[in-house]
Amino acid sequence: MKVLYWNIRGVGNRPTRRTLRSIVHKYSLDIICIAEPFVPLKRVHPYFWRSISMNLLGVNDRGLQQPNLWIFHSVQASSPKCSNQHVFVHFNLNGITHGISFVYAATTVVEHRSLWLSLAHDCSIFARPHLILGDFNAVLGAHEKIGGILPRCSSCEEFQAMVDTRGLLPIDTKGSPFTWTNGHGISSHIEMLLIVVFVLPLGMTPGQLLIAQLLHVILRTIIHF
């Protein structure tokens, strides 16, 4: 199973779509999640998704606001369960049911709490292997941030409590240890680890857990086009 999560604001323009098409074909992706596209879904013609053999699975529910999580798939998957900050789906892989929660979190501690509750609920009712990935707009500690003011202790502690309580294990990824930068000069430069991947190894043997940790998850640093 190959999954792409890309926080991409330029999906409305052709050069970005060409890059996305190239990535999908190069890695033979099964599921892609477009986060923070900054354009309506209808802005991208359905022909493009057909050209990369992807079908719309679902979007997050933000009420009157445009969804900022688009999930597409080329494999059989369940109907999505959506909130305003995440989309949960499950699918069958080699006879085993797996779940994936795609996240694009809000920016306030109060809104994070509703997301932590939603993710905890998914984990509690879905007692099977479960991948949770996305842009959490939060860090687990000061070690995940360079520059600027220190992250709020309450934010870090509540994020860490959700991870520990649900028994989530982080998956190491290649590339830069940080996934977001403000692009400013040295004096005001900030980098943070906001896009993170966790696995919930319920019911997994050590061998299956190793496979999960080696799961081919392609992470793209946040790029603003």
CATH number at residue 84: 3.60.10.10
Lowest mean pLDDT among 90-94, 130-134, 167-171: 90-94
In what side-by-side order are the strands of the sheet with 180-181?
145-146, 191-192, 180-181
Write out the two tokens for 89.
């789906």
Tens-place pLDDT, residues 46-80: 999 999 999 999 999 999 999 999 999 988 888 89
Determine the pLDDT at residue 214: 45
More reliable by pLDDT, 126 or 56:
56
**Locus of tokens 């003011």:** 149
Q: Which of 170-174, 186-190, 214-218 has the highest mean pLDDT?
A: 186-190
Question: Could you give the CA distance from residue 176 to residue 187 in angstroms, rounded to a whole number?
Answer: 21
47 within a domain of the structure (yes/no): yes
131 within a domain of the structure (yes/no): yes
**Locus of tokens 């080699």:** 94
Question: Could you give the CA distance from residue 104 to residue 6 in angstroms, rounded to a whole number?
Answer: 11
49 within a domain of the structure (yes/no): yes
Whether 40 has a pLDDT exceeding 50, the answer reads yes
Determine the pLDDT at residue 221: 35
Q: How many domains does the chain have?
A: 1
The average pLDDT across 25-54 equals 92
Determine the pLDDT at residue 205: 54
206 within a domain of the structure (yes/no): yes
Question: Could you give the CA distance from residue 74 to residue 62 in angstroms, rounded to a whole number?
Answer: 25
30 within a domain of the structure (yes/no): yes
> In residues, how long is the chain?
225
Q: Percent of the chain, pLDDT > 70?
A: 88
116 within a domain of the structure (yes/no): yes
224 within a domain of the structure (yes/no): no
∠ Cα 175 177 183 (to 5°): 95
| Among 41, 47, 107, CA closest to 71 | 41
* Domain span including residue 139: 2-219
Whether 142 has a pLDDT exceeding 80, the answer reads yes
Is pTM, for the whole model, over 0.85?
Answer: yes
Q: What is the mean pLDDT of the chain?
A: 84
Determine the pLDDT at residue 203: 56
**CB–CB of 195/222 below 8 Å?**
yes
Write out the two tokens for 122.
């998914």
What stretches of 105-172 adopt beta strand conformation (E)?
A: 130-135, 145-146, 169-170
More reliable by pLDDT, 175 or 215:
175
225 within a domain of the structure (yes/no): no
Q: Measuring CA to CA, how many Å separate 133 from each of 6, 150, 180? A: 11, 24, 15
